[in-house]
Amino acid sequence: MRRTISFRDFDWLLLAVVLLLCIISILEIYSATLHTKFVGFHTKQVFWVLGGLGAMFILSCINYHRLLGWIHWLYLFCLVSLAGVLVAGQRVMGARRWIRLPGGIHFQPSEWVKLILIIAVARYFANLARRELSWGDVAKAGLMVGIPMLLVLKQPDLGTSLTYFPVLLMGLFLGGLHWKKALILTVGALVLVVPVWYKVLKPYQKQRLTSFLNPDTDPRGSGYQVKQSLIAVGDGGLFGRGATKGTQTQGDFLPIPYTDFIFAAFSEEHGFVGAVFVLLLYFFVLMRLIQNAQTAADLSGTFLVMGVVAVISFQIAVNVGMVIGLMPVTGIPLPLMSYGGSSILFTFLALGIVMNVRMNRFVN
């Protein structure tokens, strides 16, 4: 007997926790921009969240097997849009990452590419049906993810390009990569570090990657962001200074506290207790996503949800690690909390795919 999809199967508990994170984000953006020229950004964030919610519900109604069937056209669109950014993108601070659309809207294709790669990798590895991967299979998957990575690195945008890599790793892991091949690939990646360091990375990118090791060597230059972030987190103590009362945030010492360093601003104002509470919310989101992957109707559904898990968990780990000085500053936003329309919309669209997989669990 065929059962149709129903919003009764929607993961409302997951959505409630996601919206709680969004509310925390809006309140913190308001606090972080209260005495700056960016005041009012929290209102824009509200509209981005509402738009993301609408997009999530729409995408949850489109059977994910259709998305898998459209992936060739979606992937071609992603390559064309990334090439378009390099040719006609708006240059801001030496980088071309956005295409300016009518109405003052800035479209950042690199954020949407993450979603397309999740779908592409899911279809590719699901079609291999868990057989042992050959070197040809690995090479094709590497090219599938590597070409968009190189185009984004050319913008240059190291942070966003790095978020593509976890999708590939998750696909290889779930796709049945033999441990010997994994070891060879790991050694090969380590060998490639040297030419990438000297031939690909820009000087400022190298400074970002090394300054977190010892920010005191250049506290007014490359180490400034890490130094101020550590001061803000430590200044929060156990319960924090209170909303709108953080000295590092309100004194404009903490750089861009409403985007990359929003977790540092939140930690200063709400302390260790508040920071742990937010991390527990993220932990719940990830565990709920993994549970949905386990109950998917087929392999492609599992790969789709785990691809979303890979990207979101990577972004959380890198952003929080950056804030506390354990990871280099790469400009990777904190999902659902950092200000930005592209990041918010990607996350909600990814959740829309997850919801669709969940709602199709019992559909024959």
Span 103-133, pLDDT tens digits: 656 667 788 889 999 999 999 998 887 678 8
CB 51 within 8 A of CB 343: no
Mean pLDDT of 73-79: 90
pTM for the whole structure: 0.89
Residue whose token pair is 């033999």: 178
Among 106-110, 162-166, 225-229, 299-303, whose mean pLDDT is lowest?
A: 106-110
pLDDT of residue 224: 76
Confidence of residue 1 (pLDDT cuts 50, 70, 90): very low
pLDDT of residue 349: 94
CB 332 within 8 A of CB 316: no
pLDDT of residue 22: 95
- Beta-bridge mates of residue 95: 92
CB 356 within 8 A of CB 293: no
Report the C-alpha gap between 364 and 355 in whole angstroms: 17
pLDDT of residue 96: 66
Report the C-alpha gap between 181 and 172 in whole angstroms: 10
Considering the chain, what is the average pLDDT of its residues?
A: 84
- Beta-bridge mates of residue 96: 91
Burial environment of residue 170 by CB neighbours within 10 A (0 to 12, 13 to 18, 19 or more): buried
Query: What are the C-alpha distances in Å from 138 to residues 12, 307, 310?
Result: 37, 17, 18
